[in-house]
Chains A and B, each alone.
Chain A
Amino acid sequence: KQEVTQIPAALSVPEGENLVLNCSFTDSAIYNLQWFRQDPGKGLTSLLLIQSSQREQTSGRLNASLDKSSGRSTLYIAASQPGDSATYLCAVGFDSWGKLQFGAGTQVVVTP
């Protein structure tokens, strides 16, 4: 059974620092991996999607890497801003139909 773990559970940094969020999964036979952002009481915003054949994806200040063999993905957020404060969720895709298994999330607070 696939298990998805996110470390740390919570993270507080001063504005301007880089953020490093980790996600690990137990079964390397994944279809893809997505990183999402969730603001309190809100839905999910997709940040980056990495297909199983890819090693990384980048969008602006965000970069996500994927190492299937070791079962790890890392989300980097450069030069953090208070607006980056949110919960970040990692989700592993099982198949092309979109079924996902989520980690518990990392709650990020960026202080001005």
Chain B
Amino acid sequence: GAVVSQHPSRVICKSGTSVKIECRSLDFQATTMFWYRQFPKQSLMLMATSNEGSKATYEQGVEKDKFLINHASLTLSTLTVTSAHPEDSSFYICSASTETEAFFGQGTRLTVV
């Protein structure tokens, strides 16, 4: 199947700093990618839809100024958590789709201290 690579897999940052997470589709082009968030023992919740060459579409309740999404090319989307706080600590995971199936990155465990 297709491969989606997410980096870093784990990051610890200080409160108030920003963290960038990269999501790459390695062997296919993706005009649309998705960012999900997962709190401990909960399911994945869609945060936003990342659109190549245009603004991201955010789900209700997700702060667009805190979670900046850039989809600069057909193979790369980035999520930047700005001015991170401990409550932003979570598991973030991206996905990209071929014509038929969604493939997921390995996820990023963010811990804000």
Q: Could you mark each residue 87-112 of chain A with 1 if its beta carbon is under 8 Å from any beta carbon of chain B, else 0?
A: 00101010011111111110000000
Q: Could you mark each residue 92-111 of chain B with 1 if its beta carbon is under 8 Å from any beta carbon of chain A, else 0?
A: 01011101111111110100
User: Are B109 and A99 closer than 8 Å at their CB atoms?
Assistant: no
Q: At the interface, yes or no: B46 with Cβ under 8 Å from chain A?
A: yes
Interface of A is mostly: strand
User: Are B32 and A98 closer than 8 Å at their CB atoms?
Assistant: yes
Please count how many residues in chain A sit with their CB below 8 Å of the partner chain's CB atoms: 23
**Residues of B close to A99: CB separation below 8 A:** 34, 46, 49
User: Are B102 and A102 closer than 8 Å at their CB atoms?
Assistant: no
Q: At the interface, yes or no: A65 with Cβ under 8 Å from chain B?
A: no
User: Are B99 and A96 closer than 8 Å at their CB atoms?
Assistant: yes
Q: At the interface, yes or no: B42 with Cβ under 8 Å from chain A?
A: yes
Which one of A34, A42, A103 contacts B101 once the chains associate, using CB atoms below 8 Å?
A: A34
Given A96-B97, A100-B34, also A46-B103 (CB < 8 A): yes
User: Are B101 and A46 closer than 8 Å at their CB atoms?
Assistant: yes
Q: Could you mark each residue 38-56 of chain B with 1 if its beta carbon is under 8 Å from any beta carbon of chain A, else 0?
A: 0000111110010000000
Q: At the interface, yes or no: A62 with Cβ under 8 Å from chain B?
A: no
Which parts of A67-94 form the interface with B (CB within 8 Å)? 89, 91, 93
**Residues of B close to A42: CB separation below 8 A:** 106-107
**Residues of A close to B96: CB separation below 8 A:** 98
Instruction: Enumerate the 8 nearest inter-chain pairs by beta-carbon distance, A residue then B residue, closest first.
Output: A98-B97, A98-B102, A43-B107, A43-B106, A44-B104, A104-B43, A97-B32, A102-B43
